[in-house]
Amino acid sequence: MSLLVVGSVALDSVETPFGLKEDVLGGSATYFSTSASFFTPTQVVAVVGEDFPQAHLEFLKARGVDLEGLTREKGRTFRWKGRYGYQLNEAETLDTQLNVFQSFSPRLPEKYRDAQYVFLGNIHPELQSQVVDQVKAPKLVAADTMNFWINGSRPALLKTLKRVNLLFVNDAEARQLTGEHNIVRAARAILGLGPQRVVVKRGEYGALLFEQEHIFACPAMPLADVFDPTGAGDTFAGGFMGTLAIASQLNSETLRRAMVMGSVMASFTVEKFSLERLREVTRSEIRARFSDFKRLTHFEELGPQEG
Ligand code: AMP
């Protein structure tokens, strides 16, 4: 079923203890659509400036990403600059330049309006809402956000959340959004803001899916080499939503598999800078890592004499 994303297509400058990369391909819609492209073609709504390299667009097209909803406008592309310490779990934002996003007003091509699965990537919550306005009858609307919008555009974000079925946040954002320090309490508080489900991403500690009645926990792949966590969240969301979009039903079982596939895809992204690892990963590597997750977490029920 059709999958649509609105989000940033960016040029990122990222510093980690392992190196510095400037003006490399990034953005929430970029990571999301590349990750989802392993499962289903994704329709992108975004804007880039005159300085955005055509080669990056060719890469996305070659991955089967639908760019009819991506426009090129006068001005500079969205830029984000971030830094990570050895504790790679959270980025410190050094600079955010909205540039062409400042005057962006998303217009969905006619065929995008039938999208069944919608991901509102990390951009201004009003733009996220404008996309929901234009989709006719989505089956699932999921959203992501970050501290920049939680602090800077809270009223608009709260409005958008009322229209969202599932929210992806990291643990710091969940706390910031709700004022609750405990993650279970924070997730419950988010369920009171509109979404029926919330996925809390906890970096190297994995991710938790909260539904009204259940919690599902998925670890992160224990990796010996983590170079750049940028985009892990959007890559997770791409694997998650891509898996749902091709599943025959939307239920707790498919959501659990989506959680694992999100973790699988994110585990590749962090192994190299920017989208370098996602560019080269193969379907057989993805399937193999999904099996690794099964082995990593599988155990038998206690026998009658064991406890
Ligand atoms: P994440 O998956 O959370 O690591 O997302 C990383 C991507 O988010 C980077 O490639 C940035 O270009 C993008 N990004 C960072 N800040 C913002 C923002 N305020 N609005 C939209 N996109 C952003």
- Tell how far the Cα of 286 is from the centroid of ligand 1, in angstroms: 24
Nearest CA to ligand 1 atom 1: 231
Q: Which residues pair with 21 in a beta bridge?
A: 14
Report the atom number in ligand 1 closest to the C-alpha of 10.
Answer: 12
Percent residues over pLDDT 90 in the chain:
94
Give tens-digit pLDDT for 170-223.
999 999 999 999 999 999 999 999 999 999 999 999 999 999 989 999 999 999
The pLDDT assigned to 78 comes to 97
What pLDDT does 1 receive?
81
Entry pTM: 0.96
- Among 93, 122, 123, which is best to mutate for testing ligand 1, by the most ligand atoms less than 8 A from CB? 122
Phi, psi of 224 (to 5 degrees): -80, -25
For residue 91, which atom of ligand 1 is closest to its CA? 4
Q: Name the amino acid, one letter, at 59.
A: F
State the pLDDT confidence band at 5, using cuts at 50, 70 and 90.
Answer: very high
Q: Are 242 and 39 in contact (CB under 8 A)?
A: yes
Residue nearest to atom 5 of ligand 1 (CA): 231
pLDDT of residue 144: 96
Q: Mean pLDDT over all residues of the chain?
A: 96
Q: How confident is the model at residue 89 (pLDDT cuts 50, 70, 90)?
A: confident
Supply angle C-alpha 269, 274, 280, rounded to 5: 60
